[in-house]
Structure 1
Amino acid sequence: MLASFFNLNPIWQALIAGLFTWFCTIVGAAGVFFVKTIHRKMLDSMMGFAAGVMIAASFWSLLEPSLDFGETTYGSWNWLPTTIGFLVGGLFLRLIDHIIPHLHLDKSIEEAEGSNPQTRQRLSKSMLLFLAMTIHNIPEGLALGVAFGAIGTMGLTSDNPAIALSAVGLALGIGLQNIPEGLALSMPLRAEGKSRKTAFWYGALSAVFEPIGAVLGALFVISMSSILPYALAFAAGAMIFVVVEELIPESQSGGNTDIATLSLLLGFAIMMILDVALG
């Protein structure tokens, strides 16, 4: 079955991977129908776990392949496209973070971010929380697309599946951390007074960009194969920005610093095992 998946067009692979990670978010958001309350310690541990997964994925699934692919064209200067892509990816997410109104889980509505105060005031707290999680999912979708687009760019098949297995590991890691993320959005919305159904839909749709971003990322890389080292590093920079800007501060803001940190280490270790074992 896995061999058949590898033989699909990389764009289809990216779409399937994006749908899988979105489905994982839906599964997590559905927890609102079964869980009455979520303790802050659990929420902080989930955010820490997600941060660990994303940090590990940024290196083993994105930065390390960027350096490897860049060596073919740039030789000993392979660090240059990786560095440029990484920094541009972080700046890109900073720009989105600055433009789109949003609210982090640990903040009051008065602390909503975004460049237009009037727009922020018109949006409900639920929508601001939804937009924050959507921003978070943008680099994940792009990372999936770039990883699977690399398969088409490098001409790899089931006979040489190293990069394909690494991309699968990335999809599994992102999907794994999307489950608690879906719950981490739907439960606070339920606590704000939203119905279980409404809270579920907000949580489920927060990751709708992932399959879209995966397809766009794959198309972009395949159409411009020379940018592959930049694109891989770009996705890594965007993911690290989200981790440092959002996940780690949120996981540490509830006073459960030890459990959040240990959860981060666990998430990092699991993602590292997935990537190294599969790749």
Structure 2
Amino acid sequence: METMLIGSVLSALSTGFGALPILIFKRVSHRWRDWLIAFTAGVMVSASMFGLIPQALDVSDTIVVSLGVLLGVVVLSLLETYIPHIDLESRPGGATSDKAFLIVAALFLHNIPEGLSVGVSFASVDQELGAVVAIGIGLQNMPEGLLVALFLANQSIGRMKAFWIATLTGSVEIVVAIVGYGLTNYVSGLVPYGLSFAAGAMMFIVYKELIPESHGDGNARTATFSFIFGLLSMIVLMDLFG
């Protein structure tokens, strides 16, 4: 439990660490934004396909894993129906407070499967998986925190306030990780469902949000290389810690 808490806290705080540049810069180029998003997508795909799903298959079968993945996709799809994607490049104007609220709510939504994946990974039979997934989620939280802080700054919110809001949004991962760990640790039959659910939810975010965003500004080729680099980085981490 203590190791899980440390891992989830460090992973969640990575959102704030990634948001630190907002205190110096108010904007990043489209190319850098697309590279960061694509790298995040690669990390999440690698964590799902080479970490969460194989571990779920080790303790269950393809039917259980398929059900878990589909459940994760369906739940994220339903949630995004009520909390739609927000354009991080939105400019000031209009109902600024409403825009800021929606982007923060959307980030909370996206952090739910990430926190869940950390919690259930620490509850799995492979004790190293939790650390690997926590590191991977932390890596993808950094560009996410920066992009959200940039959005908030563009909505006429002070840089320091934008930094703290971005940092605090990561806290939901700690709560969800504890819930996921508690449920799967004490009800062992839920472990493969939890792992595959987290994988499905993360894959939904990658295909629905991250890849389209990274390819929308004419940087598809370089974003693709960034995606591969993110995927390989996560594979290296899993090899080192596994």
Pick from 184, 188, 197 the counterpart of residue 225 of structure 1: 188
Residues 1:41 and 2:4 are matched in the alignment: no
Residues 1:138 and 2:112 are matched in the alignment: yes
After superposition, the Cα gap between the structure-2 partners of 1:194 and 1:106, relative to the gap in structure 1 and judged at 3 Å, is closer
> Hey, what does 1:26 align to over in structure 2?
16
Residues 1:147 and 2:147 are matched in the alignment: no
RMSD: 1.9
Larger Rg: 1
Which residue identity does 2:111 align to in structure 1? N
Query: Which structure 1 residue ranges, 5 or more long, are not aligned?
Result: 1-10, 71-77, 110-120, 155-162
> Hey, what does 2:83 align to over in structure 1?
100
Query: Which structure 2 residue ranges, 5 or more long, are not aligned?
Result: none
> Hey, what does 1:190 align to over in structure 2?
153
After superposition, the Cα gap between the structure-2 partners of 1:248 and 1:107, relative to the gap in structure 1 and judged at 3 Å, is farther
- CA positional deviation for 1:12: 2.4
> Equivalents in 2 of 1:124, 1:99: separation in Å?
14
> Hey, what does 1:82 align to over in structure 2?
65
- CA positional deviation for 1:188: 2.3
Q: Within 5 A, what are the aligned runs for 1:56-67?
A: 56-67=46-57
- CA positional deviation for 1:101: 5.2
Aligned residues of 2:39 and 2:229 also touching (Cα < 8 A) = yes
Aligned residues of 2:86 and 2:106 also touching (Cα < 8 A) = yes
- CA positional deviation for 1:260: 1.4
> Hey, what does 2:166 align to over in structure 1?
203
Aligned residues of 1:43 and 1:184 also touching (Cα < 8 A) = yes
> Equivalents in 2 of 1:197, 1:122: separation in Å?
17
Deviations 1:153-185 (A, max 9, x none): x4xxxxxxxx22222111111111211111111
How many residues in Structure 1 have an aligned counterpart in Structure 2? 240
- CA positional deviation for 1:190: 1.3
> Equivalents in 1 of 2:99, 2:88: separation in Å?
10
- CA positional deviation for 1:25: 0.8
Superposed structure 1 runs of 4+ greater than 6 Å apart: none
Q: Normalized against structure 2, the TM-score is what? A: 0.92
Q: Sequence identity of aligned pairs in percent?
A: 36
Q: Normalized against structure 1, the TM-score is what? A: 0.81
> Equivalents in 1 of 2:78, 2:161: separation in Å?
29
- CA positional deviation for 1:14: 2.1
